[in-house]
Amino acid sequence: MSLRELPRVQQVAGEPRRRWFHDHEMDLVVWESEDGEPLSFQLAYDKHRNEHSIAWRAGHGFTHYQVDDGEAAALSKEAPLLYLDGAFERDRVLAAFVAAADTLPPGIAGFVAGRLREFEEEQR
CA 92: distance to chain centroid? 14
Poorest-pLDDT segment among 10-14, 82-86, 94-98: 82-86
pTM for the structure as a whole: 0.84
Q: How much is the CA Rg of the chain, to the nearest whole Å?
A: 15
Q: Which stretches does DSSP call E strand in the chain? A: 4-5, 17-22, 26-32, 38-45, 52-57, 61-68, 81-84
Q: Are 53 and 45 in contact (CB under 8 A)?
A: yes
The candidate with the shortest Cα–Cα distance to 64, out of 93, 37, 39, is 93
Between the CA atoms of 28, 32, 38 and 42, what dihedral angle is there, to the nearest 10 degrees? -30
Q: Say how far apart CA 65 and CA 55 lie, in whole Å.
A: 8
Split at pLDDT 50, 70, 90, the class of 124 is very low
Domain ranges of the chain: 4-123
Predicted confidence (pLDDT) per residue in 1-41, tens digit: 799 999 999 999 999 999 999 999 999 999 999 999 999 99
The candidate with the shortest Cα–Cα distance to 108, out of 5, 10, 8, is 5
Predicted confidence (pLDDT) per residue in 56-79, tens digit: 998 899 999 888 766 554 555 556
Query: Which residue blocks in the chain are alpha helix, DSSP H?
Result: 90-100, 106-123
